[in-house]
Amino acid sequence: MPRAPYSQEISRQHKACFLFLLDQSFSMEEPLGGSDRRKCDELATAINGWLQNMAIRASGDEGIKDWMDVGVFGYRTDEASNMIIEPALLGELAGKRLVSITEIGNHPARIDTRNQWVPADEGGEMISVPCDVPVWVDPVAQGGTPMCNMLYLAHGLLAEWIRQHPDSFPPIVVHITDGESQDGDPIPYAEAIRKLSTSDGQVLLFNCHLSSTAAAPFMFPAKPDGLPDRLARMLFEMSSVLPDRFHRYAAEEGFELQPGARGMAFNANMVCLIQFLNMGTQAAAILR
């Protein structure tokens, strides 16, 4: 029976791969639209939250199952305009390019304690209780935006992972930025990433633009026509068309998607960012 693409189930034998590419340029110092926190702060919170949720989801009675590899990279330049493209994980995982979700869960850089609102045992009221909040990445905002070099490095990393996992669900790359590339046209580099494939389908590249203003967000557009500017249209060109499974998931989450919708968000606020991260990963990782 011919296999539908993007149908490989995720298991120890067929691991998944999630790669996050984080813009750490100076403009990430600005507040995120609709928030009083800096974009880099909100981004670090969102990524830490994603890693926390994924480790929890992969955990079983005996520990965390080794079902996926995760990479988190940051890209920026220093004062002398030298590129800095490096893994963003801290603590024991510092410097590692791809790590298993088991390592992620077992080695947070630190565990902060914050009060969170949870349902009380009786009556359904919400109460504030101290909760462990593991941290793997901290906010960074410095220098320029060497996007092409970041995508080039990601291509090499993914090609190697695919050689080792030729029948896995294809890697999902989530790229989060707030501005234009400063080292060239990123579209050919994005195309090269999207052309990589496992036997289950081509690599998926999703792009999310963080807004400094409270402008209306564009989520999963199907055409470039209505997008507000050149940057938005560039990110559209860079982004993968959502496979059916992702399309269905996004629709179930309440998004009104047109055929050909792409894995792209523009003018994203914190809510959009978290929805975007969830869509990009939940749809693939149905771990029942």
Partner 1 sequence: MEDQGPPKRLRLEWRVLTVAKDADYPDENQDVVCVDGDRGAAAIADGVTSSLFARTWAAILVEAAVRGPPDPEDRAALASWLAEHRAAWRRQIEGARLAWFHKAKLRDGAFSTLLAIWLVPPEGPSGEDAPAWRLRGVSIGDSCLFHLRGGRLLRKFPIQTSAEFDHYPLVLGSVDLHRDEHLAFQRLDEPCREGDLVVLCTDALADWALRQEEAGRAADWEACWDMDPAAWKERILALRSEREIRRDDTTLALLRIVGDRGEKSPEEAG
Q: Which of 33, 71, 74, 108 binds partner 1 (CB under 8 A)?
A: 108
Q: Which of 94, 118, 214, 215 binds partner 1 (CB under 8 A)?
A: 118
Q: Map residue 220 onto helix, strand or coil.
A: coil
Pairing mode, if any, of strands 99-100 and 68-77? antiparallel
Contact 176, 215 (CB under 8 A): no
The nearer residue to partner 1, 91 or 156, going by C-beta atoms, is 91
Cα gap 49→176, rounded to integer Å: 15
The reply on whether position 80 binds partner 1 by CB under 8 A is no
Q: Map residue 262 onto helix, strand or coil.
A: strand
- Burial label for 16, CB within 10 Å (0-12, 13-18, 19+), is buried
The nearer residue to partner 1, 65 or 262, going by C-beta atoms, is 65
Tokens, residue 189: 């580099």
Interface segment toward partner 1; rule CB under 8 A; list 39-47, 58-66, 220-228, 256-264 = 58-66
90 contact partners, CB below 8 Å, separation of at least 6: 109, 135, 136, 137, 138
The nearer residue to partner 1, 154 or 277, going by C-beta atoms, is 277
Q: Which of 52, 211, 269, 281 binds partner 1 (CB under 8 A)?
A: 52
Tokens, residue 16: 């998944």
Interface segment toward partner 1; rule CB under 8 A; list 21-29, 40-48, 55-63, 86-94 = 55-63
Q: Which of 72, 38, 51 lies closest to 150 in space, CA to CA?
A: 72
Q: Which of 59, 142, 212, 278 binds partner 1 (CB under 8 A)?
A: 59
Smallest gap from residue 4 Cβ to partner 1 (A): 9
The reply on whether position 131 binds partner 1 by CB under 8 A is yes
The nearer residue to partner 1, 126 or 216, going by C-beta atoms, is 126
Contact 116, 50 (CB under 8 A): no
The reply on whether position 55 binds partner 1 by CB under 8 A is yes
Beta partners for residue 85, in sequence order: 75
47 contact partners, CB below 8 Å, separation of at least 6: 20, 22, 72, 88, 136, 137, 277
Q: Which of 37, 38, 57, 233 binds partner 1 (CB under 8 A)?
A: 57
Q: Which residues 132-191 are close enough to bind partner 1 by CB under 8 A?
A: 132, 134
Q: Which of 56, 94, 126, 216 binds partner 1 (CB under 8 A)?
A: 56
Single-letter amino acid, residue 183: D
Smallest gap from residue 168 Cβ to partner 1 (A): 13
Where along the sequence are the contacts to partner 1 (CB under 8 A)?
Answer: 1, 3, 7, 9, 11-13, 52, 55-57, 59-65, 105-106, 108, 111, 118-119, 121, 123-124, 131-132, 134, 286-288
